[in-house]
Amino acid sequence: MVTYPEMMELVNAHRQLDEPMTAAIWIRQQDHEAWLVEILPNMAHDEHPERPVAFNPGKTFRHPLNLIAGNLEDLRAAIQVDQSLARAIAEGEVLLGEEDAHELTRVAAEAIHGAA
Protein backbone atom coordinates (compact mmCIF):
# COMPACT_ATOMS: atom_id res chain seq x y z
CA MET A 1 0.00 0.00 0.00
CA VAL A 2 0.93 3.60 -0.50
CA THR A 3 2.34 5.24 2.63
CA TYR A 4 2.01 8.77 3.95
CA PRO A 5 5.72 9.58 3.41
CA GLU A 6 5.46 8.38 -0.20
CA MET A 7 2.43 10.60 -0.82
CA MET A 8 4.16 13.61 0.75
CA GLU A 9 7.20 13.01 -1.43
CA LEU A 10 4.93 12.96 -4.50
CA VAL A 11 3.08 16.12 -3.43
CA ASN A 12 6.36 17.94 -2.77
CA ALA A 13 7.60 16.90 -6.21
CA HIS A 14 4.38 18.18 -7.81
CA ARG A 15 4.81 21.50 -6.00
CA GLN A 16 7.99 21.99 -8.02
CA LEU A 17 6.18 21.72 -11.38
CA ASP A 18 5.42 24.78 -13.51
CA GLU A 19 1.66 24.61 -12.90
CA PRO A 20 1.01 26.12 -9.45
CA MET A 21 -0.87 23.80 -7.08
CA THR A 22 -2.73 25.27 -4.12
CA ALA A 23 -4.01 22.07 -2.53
CA ALA A 24 -3.65 18.29 -2.52
CA ILE A 25 -6.00 15.74 -0.96
CA TRP A 26 -5.14 12.05 -0.67
CA ILE A 27 -8.22 9.94 -1.34
CA ARG A 28 -8.89 6.19 -1.33
CA GLN A 29 -6.02 5.60 1.08
CA GLN A 30 -6.50 1.85 1.38
CA ASP A 31 -5.88 1.25 -2.33
CA HIS A 32 -2.73 -0.25 -3.77
CA GLU A 33 -2.83 2.62 -6.22
CA ALA A 34 -2.33 6.24 -5.26
CA TRP A 35 -5.35 8.55 -5.58
CA LEU A 36 -4.68 12.28 -5.35
CA VAL A 37 -6.84 15.35 -5.95
CA GLU A 38 -4.92 18.51 -6.83
CA ILE A 39 -6.32 22.01 -7.11
CA LEU A 40 -4.59 23.91 -9.92
CA PRO A 41 -6.05 27.44 -10.00
CA ASN A 42 -4.66 28.28 -13.45
CA MET A 43 -5.86 25.09 -15.11
CA ALA A 44 -8.18 25.66 -18.07
CA HIS A 45 -11.83 24.69 -17.77
CA ASP A 46 -12.38 20.94 -17.88
CA GLU A 47 -15.84 19.44 -18.39
CA HIS A 48 -14.80 16.27 -16.53
CA PRO A 49 -12.11 16.88 -13.93
CA GLU A 50 -13.43 13.85 -12.01
CA ARG A 51 -11.92 11.54 -14.62
CA PRO A 52 -8.48 10.64 -13.26
CA VAL A 53 -5.34 10.67 -15.32
CA ALA A 54 -3.60 7.37 -14.60
CA PHE A 55 0.17 7.10 -14.88
CA ASN A 56 3.35 6.04 -13.12
CA PRO A 57 5.07 9.20 -11.87
CA GLY A 58 8.64 7.89 -11.84
CA LYS A 59 11.25 5.55 -10.52
CA THR A 60 11.09 6.60 -6.88
CA PHE A 61 7.28 6.46 -6.61
CA ARG A 62 6.47 2.85 -7.40
CA HIS A 63 2.69 2.96 -7.36
CA PRO A 64 0.25 3.70 -10.14
CA LEU A 65 -1.12 7.22 -9.67
CA ASN A 66 -4.69 8.28 -10.37
CA LEU A 67 -4.59 12.06 -10.47
CA ILE A 68 -7.76 14.13 -10.36
CA ALA A 69 -6.76 17.70 -11.08
CA GLY A 70 -8.59 20.88 -11.91
CA ASN A 71 -9.37 24.38 -10.86
CA LEU A 72 -11.53 24.83 -7.76
CA GLU A 73 -14.66 25.81 -9.68
CA ASP A 74 -14.55 22.73 -11.95
CA LEU A 75 -13.86 20.39 -9.03
CA ARG A 76 -16.77 21.90 -7.07
CA ALA A 77 -19.07 21.25 -10.02
CA ALA A 78 -17.82 17.67 -10.38
CA ILE A 79 -18.51 16.97 -6.71
CA GLN A 80 -22.11 18.09 -7.13
CA VAL A 81 -22.81 15.35 -9.70
CA ASP A 82 -20.46 12.56 -8.56
CA GLN A 83 -21.37 11.26 -5.10
CA SER A 84 -18.48 8.76 -4.99
CA LEU A 85 -16.00 11.56 -5.67
CA ALA A 86 -17.69 13.77 -3.08
CA ARG A 87 -17.47 10.99 -0.49
CA ALA A 88 -13.81 10.26 -1.30
CA ILE A 89 -12.85 13.93 -1.01
CA ALA A 90 -14.86 14.44 2.19
CA GLU A 91 -13.05 11.48 3.75
CA GLY A 92 -9.66 12.32 2.24
CA GLU A 93 -6.56 13.59 3.99
CA VAL A 94 -5.38 17.11 3.27
CA LEU A 95 -1.69 17.02 2.40
CA LEU A 96 -1.26 20.59 1.18
CA GLY A 97 -3.16 23.87 1.12
CA GLU A 98 -5.41 23.99 4.13
CA GLU A 99 -7.65 26.80 2.87
CA ASP A 100 -8.45 25.52 -0.65
CA ALA A 101 -8.47 21.87 0.42
CA HIS A 102 -10.86 22.49 3.29
CA GLU A 103 -13.12 24.50 0.99
CA LEU A 104 -13.30 21.47 -1.32
CA THR A 105 -13.86 18.99 1.53
CA ARG A 106 -16.61 21.27 2.92
CA VAL A 107 -18.36 21.37 -0.46
CA ALA A 108 -18.01 17.58 -0.72
CA ALA A 109 -19.55 17.04 2.72
CA GLU A 110 -22.44 19.36 1.85
CA ALA A 111 -23.00 17.49 -1.44
CA ILE A 112 -23.18 14.18 0.43
CA HIS A 113 -25.57 15.47 3.08
CA GLY A 114 -27.70 17.27 0.50
CA ALA A 115 -28.14 14.03 -1.45
CA ALA A 116 -29.18 12.04 1.63
Hey, what amino acid is at 74? D
Query: Which CATH number does the domain 4-115 belong to among 3.40.640.10, 3.30.930.10, 3.40.50.1820, 3.30.460.10?
Result: 3.30.460.10
pLDDT at position 42 over 80 = yes
pLDDT band at 27 (very low <50, low <70, confident <90, very high): very high
**pTM, two decimal places:** 0.91
Q: 31: closest CA among 9, 64, 60? A: 64
Helix 72-81 to helix 98-115 angle (10° resolution) is 20
- What's the confidence (pLDDT) of residue 116? 54
Q: How far apart are CA 66 and CA 37, in angstroms?
A: 9
